Amino acid sequence: MSTPHDPSLDAYWMPFTANRQFKQRPRLLTQASGMHYRTDDGREILDGVAGLWCVNAGHARPRIVQAIARQAGEMDYAPPFQMGHPKAFEFADRLSQLTPAGLNRVFFTNSGSESVETALKIALAWQRARGQGTRTRLIGRERGYHGVNFGGISVGGIVGNRKMFGTLLGGVDHIRHTHDLERNAFSRGQPAHGAELADDLERLVALHDASTIAAVIVEPVAGSTGVLIPPQGYLQRLRDICDRHGILLIFDEVITGFGRTGQPFAAQTFGVTPDLMTVAKGITNGCVPMGAVFVKQEIHDTFMNGPEHLIELFHGYTYSAHPLACAAGLATLDTYAEEGLLTRASELQDYFADGLHSLRGLPHVIDVRNIGLVGGVELAPGPEGPGRRAFNVFLDCFEQGVMVRTTGDIIAMSPPLIIERAQIDRLIETLRTALKRAA
């Protein structure tokens, strides 16, 4: 029987949430500072997921808070079409100094989902602009997550995000995912087996012909599907195949960007540079919605032809390069730089990995995966079906004062990069207790 709930909660239809369960037992967060949230009943919650993979510098950082307030009083909004404001150009320049060499043009969006749509459109338009208009096919990967707009769910490969929404975009295909429990369970860092899975792209080239394929999009580390780490050599092999066939390679770094893997971007961690790269989340420390696409200069320059008074790319958003977002982003970069946060995960990753892998052997734990400051613990499905056991672990951890995240049967962790060793200990021990209690 359902328990009564507060009717004042009814109007809000919550995203990616079991609404009925939540509204019977709400988990309401009212304050945040540093590594912690505070609930409406006054409890302190250790944030083990950086909000939603985004609050990389921790909560309520004074420099960022002050920058947003100052910008709101100075100029609240500026139109981005045929107009600009100084902070947009300053922020793009600062970002371009952090990216892998060559990715030095920045197109601003408002979310990871919009960044993906933008990257896909740029890829298609670029192929046409260079005289390759037959290249209209987009290739994603099984179990990939690329946001929730139609392009993103079309190239994405998570069934729950796709099955309700019709036939999606045409001309999309998928390569195999890299998850291989039989050969790679309990790998520390990159798994040893699976580089050859990149060759699945050759199968699609043979099926469709390279002359029809515009771009391939993958997450360097597949996050929302449950922390799938790329096998050693896999991304380089994918890069080589794309180069051989004139296909653009897009990295979705919405989760991995801004220090999560121990370098500013996972492309640098793995030593593979894509042609386009999508980001969001950590770009403003989650404080103001924003995203971006980093584009190689030669791709950008292909569009810079024809009469100078004409628009080169018919794409953009009302809130592209919003002044408050740019102010937050500049202050976020300052905070990252002052505290060395974009590389701090490389200093903590071994300690974090030791804690995560100490969970091996607990009931129902069938895999542990890690890279930088992101980890996943995969559980065997329970008798009530997929997802329920992990959800119970999530609820148990929250009651113990620690926030983790679940995706299917996987517990995911991605704490703010300011986390200390003692807080890693608490995160792991809380999870250990919950796993022992799980049915």
Domains and CATH numbers, the chain: 7-56+341-437 (3.90.1150.10), 65-339 (3.40.640.10)
pLDDT digits (tens, 9 = 90+) for 379-411: 999 888 899 999 999 999 999 999 999 999 999
Taking only Cα atoms into account, the Rg of the chain, rounded to an integer number of angstroms, comes to 22
Burial (0-12, 13-18, 19+ Cβ within 10 Å), 138: buried
Please report which residue ranges of 108-233 form alpha helices under DSSP H. Answer: 112-129, 150-155, 159-162, 181-184, 200-208
The string of pLDDT tens digits covering residues 16-58 is 999 999 999 999 999 999 999 999 999 999 999 999 999 999 9
Query: Which range among 5-9, 49-53, 99-103 shows the weakest confidence by mean pLDDT?
Result: 5-9
Angle among Cα 435, 437, 439 to the nearest 5 degrees reads 95
Position 353: which residue type? A
Paired sense of beta strands 213-218 and 172-175, if any: unpaired
* Residue 305, φ and ψ in degrees, nearest 5: -130, 170
DSSP per position, 154-190: HH---HHHHTTSTT-SSSEEEEPP---HHHHTT-SSS
330-356: average pLDDT: 98
Which 3 state secondary structure label does DSSP give 303?
Answer: helix
Q: Is the pLDDT of residue 294 over 60?
A: yes
Q: How many residues does the chain have?
A: 439
> What token pair was written down for 22?
């939540």
User: Which of the two residues, 3 and 348, has the higher pLDDT score?
Assistant: 348
Give 317's Cβ-side CA count (13 Å radius): 18
The residues, any chain, with a CB within 8 Å of residue 348's CB and separated by 6 or more, are: 373, 419, 421, 424
Tokens of 421: 């060793």
213 has a pLDDT exceeding 80: yes
Split at pLDDT 50, 70, 90, the class of 7 is confident
CB of 340 within 8 A of CB of 200?
Answer: no
Neighbours of 73 (CB within 10 A): 7
Bridge partners of 368? 377
Give the phi and the psi of residue 68 in degrees, each rounded to 5. -65, -45
Q: Look at residue 2 and tell me whether its pLDDT is greater than 80.
A: no
Q: How many CA atoms lie within 13 A of 412 on its CB side?
A: 23
Task: Check residue 3 and give its pLDDT.
Answer: 56
Residue type, 218: V
Q: What is the mean pLDDT of residues 123-130?
A: 98
DSSP result, 17-47: S-HHHHHHS---EEEEEBTEEEETTS-EEEE
Half-sphere exposure at residue 320, Cβ-oriented, CA atoms within 13 angstroms: 21
Entry pTM: 0.97
Q: How far apart are CA 56 and CA 284, in angstroms?
A: 9
Which tens digit of pLDDT belongs to each residue from 274-284? 999 999 999 99
β-bridge partners, 403:
47
Neighbours of 388 (CB within 10 A): 16
